[in-house]
């Protein structure tokens, strides 16, 4: 109970800082002596600091106000995707102190993957030579299906790995608490703390990359489901006779609108169409990229434009169905596909507008994430912050 009360006080200071002891007691319904004791303990732990108010209270005395000491402790955040591993060290307000990334160019074995992650965390910690006691935890935003209770990566399809014991392995190595979450749910949590989801109780975060996933926020909490697999919008079916998806089903959204799907379709059909992509590839010999498709579309290439429009329409249809079921007040989209140009986003918005069932007073905003891929690794950090401030339950 003391630990819970400490977190309650800590979170109240975070939300209302600078704030006096009297105000905390009033807002938390805890007694002034209890608040005084808890605050003293938090000061001893260097988690909060006192400052003199600039204005006097009604009695004439200037109250002592409290703030979080964000630089006192650190958090390690890890983003593990199929193509990159990124590790950051931050202070308690999410400010990045050290940042390290490594591209994954070939599929690793389970042990190779764990060894690489372990080496990168060691490397990041050594940069600042921070004492282990000052590391509050390690958060991991992991691609694929994740069991958050066991800290286990159940299935990472693009890495072709399963049952990776992330929590067990890293806690044994570092003796620091480890929290594991799916990467897109971690992104949604980051959006709720630092991004477009701040102050929004119900929203969906849609992420498009090599795969497609979503994080669902309901009543100020991330929705996981009993099986920790909620939000797999990429594997909702658009057409049972559609293209084969990596998951083994036909017609998944991911097989229509992911970066992988767009590039695959472009490679299969470019020689059958008049497109400047053929000329560019002849001249440079480079591998076809998403940036090239967007550039061609901007220059008026009908084939490139149709590829992106169709992807946007597929994403919009899936998003509209999700919106009809959950009725969030905001949809946050993330991915290069939205950053490189407006074609995909405009088609997505049109489909949402056409196919969502809503009353006249409803307004569902569609916005682009300002955190981008940094949101994934920042979400990993936020997993630890949520534990520290006990903002759920």
Dump pLDDT digits (tens) for 14-63.
Answer: 999 999 999 999 999 999 999 999 999 999 999 999 998 877 665 567 78
CA distance 116 to 345: 36
Spatial neighbors of 248 by CB under 8 A, at least 6 apart, are: none
First to last CA, the chain: 13
Q: Beta-carbon neighbour count of residue 185 at 10 Å?
A: 28
- In angstroms, rounded to a whole number, what is the distance separating the alpha carbons of residues 1 and 388? 14
Per-residue model confidence (pLDDT) at position 56: 64
Phi, psi of 151 (to 5 degrees): 65, 40
The string of pLDDT tens digits covering residues 167-203 is: 999 999 999 999 999 999 999 999 999 999 999 999 9
Within 10 angstroms of residue 377's Cβ, the number of other Cβ atoms is 32
Six token digits for residue 196: 């477009």
Tokens at residue 353, please? 């507008």
CATH 3.30.420.40 in the chain, residue ranges: 74-183+375-389, 196-370
| Mean predicted confidence (pLDDT) in 202-218 | 96
pLDDT band at 166 (very low <50, low <70, confident <90, very high): very high
User: What is residue 128's predicted lDDT score, i.e. its pLDDT?
Assistant: 86
Alpha helices by DSSP H, 327-373: 336-339, 343-355
Number of CB atoms found within 10 A of residue 279's CB: 11
Contacts of 14 (CB under 8 A, 6+ apart): 68, 389
Distance from C-alpha of 258 to C-alpha of 316, rounded to nearest angstrom = 13
**In the chain, where does the domain assigned CATH 1.10.10.10 lie?**
2-68
Query: Looking at the predicted structure, is the pLDDT value of residue 82 above 50?
Result: yes
Q: What is the pLDDT of residue 67?
A: 97
- Give how far Cα 348 sits from Cα of 202, 259, 327, Å: 20, 15, 17
Fold of 2-68: Arc Repressor Mutant, subunit A (1.10.10)
pLDDT exceeds 50 at position 111: yes
Residue 381 in this model has a pLDDT that exceeds 60: yes
The pLDDT, as a whole number, for residue 362 is: 84
pLDDT at 229: 83
Each residue of 336-364: pLDDT tens digit? 999 999 999 999 999 999 999 988 788 89
| Burial (CB count <10 Å: 0-12, 13-18, 19+), residue 214 | buried
Separation between Cα atoms, residue 211 and residue 270, nearest integer Å:
22
Q: What average pLDDT does range 113-138 have in this prediction? A: 95
What is the bridge-based pairing of β-strands 19-20 and 64-68? Answer: antiparallel
Q: Note the residue count of the chain.
A: 393
Alpha carbon distance 232, 214 (integer Å): 6
Domain 196-370 has CATH 3.30.420.40: yes
Instruction: Tell me whether the omega of the peptide bond preceding residue 313 falls within 30 degrees of 0, making it cis.
Output: no
Q: What percentage of the chain's residues is helix, strand, coil (to nearest 5)? A: 45, 20, 35
The pLDDT of residue 359: 81
Lowest-confidence pick of 26-30, 224-228, 232-236:
224-228
Is residue 232's pLDDT more than 60?
yes
Average pLDDT score over residue span 363-382: 96
Q: How confident is the prediction for the chain on average, in pLDDT?
A: 94
Cα–Cα distance, 380 to 138 (Å, whole number): 8
At 76 the pLDDT is: 98
Token duo for residue 40: 């003293």
CA distance 225 to 215: 12
Whether the predicted pLDDT of 272 surpasses 60? yes
Fold of 74-183+375-389: Nucleotidyltransferase; domain 5 (3.30.420)
pLDDT of 393 reads 46
Q: Is 152 left (phi over 0), alpha (psi -120 to 50) or beta?
A: beta
- Mean pLDDT, range 82-87, rounded to an integer: 96
What is the pLDDT at residue 239? 96
């Amino acid at each position: 109970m003391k630990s819970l009360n400490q977190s309650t006080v800590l979170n109240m200071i975070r939300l209302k800082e600078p704030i006096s002891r009297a105000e905390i007691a009033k807002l938390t319904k805890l007694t002034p002596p209890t608040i005084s004791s808890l605050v003293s303990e938090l000061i001893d732990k260097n988690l909060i600091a006192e400052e003199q108010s600039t204005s006097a209270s009604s009695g004439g005395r200037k109250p002592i106000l409290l703030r979080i000491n964000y630089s006192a402790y650190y958090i390690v955040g890890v983003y593990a995707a199929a193509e990159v591993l990124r590790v950051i060290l931050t202070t308690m307000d999410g400010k990045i102190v050290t940042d390290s990334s490594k591209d994954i160019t070939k599929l690793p074995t389970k042990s190779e993957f764990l060894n690489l992650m372990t080496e990168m965390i060691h490397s990041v910690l050594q940069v600042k030579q921070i004492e282990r006691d000052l590391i509050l935890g390690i958060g991991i935003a992991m691609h694929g299906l994740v069991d958050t209770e066991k800290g286990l990566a159940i299935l990472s399809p693009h890495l072709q790995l399963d049952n990776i014991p992330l929590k067990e392995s890293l806690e044994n190595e570092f003796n620091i608490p480890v929290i594991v979450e799916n990467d897109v749910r971690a992104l949604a949590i980051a959006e709720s703390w630092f991004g477009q989801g701040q102050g929004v109780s119900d929203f969906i975060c849609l992420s498009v990359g090599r795969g497609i996933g979503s994080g669902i926020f309901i009543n100020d909490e991330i929705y996981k489901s009993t099986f920790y697999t909620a939000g797999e919008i990429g594997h909702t079916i658009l057409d049972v006779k559609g293209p084969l998806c990596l998951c083994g089903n036909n017609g998944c959204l991911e097989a229509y609108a992911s970066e992988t799907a767009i590039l695959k379709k472009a490679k299969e059909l470019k020689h059958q169409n008049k497109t400047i992509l053929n000329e560019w590839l002849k001249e440079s010999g480079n591998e076809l990229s998403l940036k090239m498709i967007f550039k061609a579309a901007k220059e008026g290439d009908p084939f490139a434009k149709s590829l992106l429009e169709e992807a946007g329409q597929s994403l919009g249809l899936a998003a509209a169905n999700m919106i009809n079921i959950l009725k969030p007040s905001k949809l946050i989209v993330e991915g290069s596909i939205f950053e490189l140009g407006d074609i995909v986003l405009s088609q997505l918005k049109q489909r949402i507008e056409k196919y969502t069932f809503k009353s006249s007073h409803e307004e569902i905003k569609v916005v682009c994430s300002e955190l981008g891929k940094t949101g994934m690794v920042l979400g990993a950090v936020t997993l630890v912050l949520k534990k520290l401030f006990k903002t759920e339950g």
